[in-house]
Structure 1
């Protein structure tokens, strides 16, 4: 049975993020000017819930065990589904998707291993920066349209490649922190 803490606002926002994923994918796959805009807005809202739920949970000290599990799972589902859909639509190369998802899964596994040994390794600045670049890039690639004469899709392509570089760098950085922490 779930307790009342399960239904706190941060957890509700995490659940909302998961619920928004099929909606944004439906609009994305129609691939018209209007549906790309709608998909990008839904993706942006879903991405913002990630920031807001974590902020609220920490600020009001309502961090729950279920939230610690649901939040990263929701993030991985959002990122993986958007990258795979963009690959299917020919907006991002498969190697980019493989590198980004592989890094996320590898770091996730390392986090689990670290936690099982009672060691917590905080996300570094480069990992947070990678996430910002990746979310903006994905949003721009979903949007795909020009905006006041600016080629948003082209900017999205540049940002997704930058997020790959940041992703690899932050992944290596995380592994270095892990081995330093384990050897303490």
Structure 2
């Protein structure tokens, strides 16, 4: 498997995860909290942009691969999960919200794998609801990482509202995927 530019962007996103996490373990004597939050927010935004850009480039340049199709959502889930765990530790996201989002990602990933083994992967293909859920997460998390008001805009509060919306969309999309998969599950169980 050759390393294409889109695949390199996916790997870059995965490699950025420990770097973002490491920012939160630096002593305040090395970097103040505001600088840490700004850098973490910026790194997450770069990673989120590569999440969109690598897939777009792979399709445009006809460099899609089965491994890339596997690795891209894994990188996305790792990035979101790591950020949510940091945000729980900082007290910016509640444990229940993080559990809902991370738990759904694990459950739906397992469901997709199971449905693929049954030859029914199209019944749990990504739809608009999953895309809205991802968009809400990708907007909420940078706001929660940045946290402080910016030019009078309550960034942290906006992030908290968006993460609640993301959690609602998370549950809704999980129910949608389970409903779509249920006939196949019932038929083959």
Q: TM over 0.5: same fold?
A: yes
CA RMSD of aligned residues (A): 1.6
1:52-91 Cα deviation digits (max 9, x unpaired):
1111122222111221221122112101111011101111
**Residue in 2 that maps onto 1:116:** 117
**Residue in 1 that maps onto 2:100:** 99
Query: Which structure 2 residues correspond to residues 73-84 of structure 1 after superposition, within 5 A?
Result: 73-84=74-85
1:31-58 Cα deviation digits (max 9, x unpaired):
6111111110000001111111111122
Q: Please, which of 122, 128, 133 is the counterpart of residue 130 of structure 1?
A: 133
Q: Confirm or deny: 8 A CA contact 1:146 1:152 kept in the other structure.
A: yes
Aligned length: 180
Structure 2 residue matching 1:123: 3-state secondary structure: coil
TM-score norm. by structure 2 comes to 0.89
Which segments of 5 or more consecutive residues in structure 1 lack a partner in the other structure? Answer: none
Give the C-alpha shift of residue 101 in structure 1. 0.7
**Residue in 2 that maps onto 1:9:** 5
1-structure distance, mates of 2:102, 2:140: 15
* Runs of 4+, deviation exceeding 3 Å: 28-31, 180-184
**Residue in 2 that maps onto 1:179:** 182
TM-score norm. by structure 1 comes to 0.92
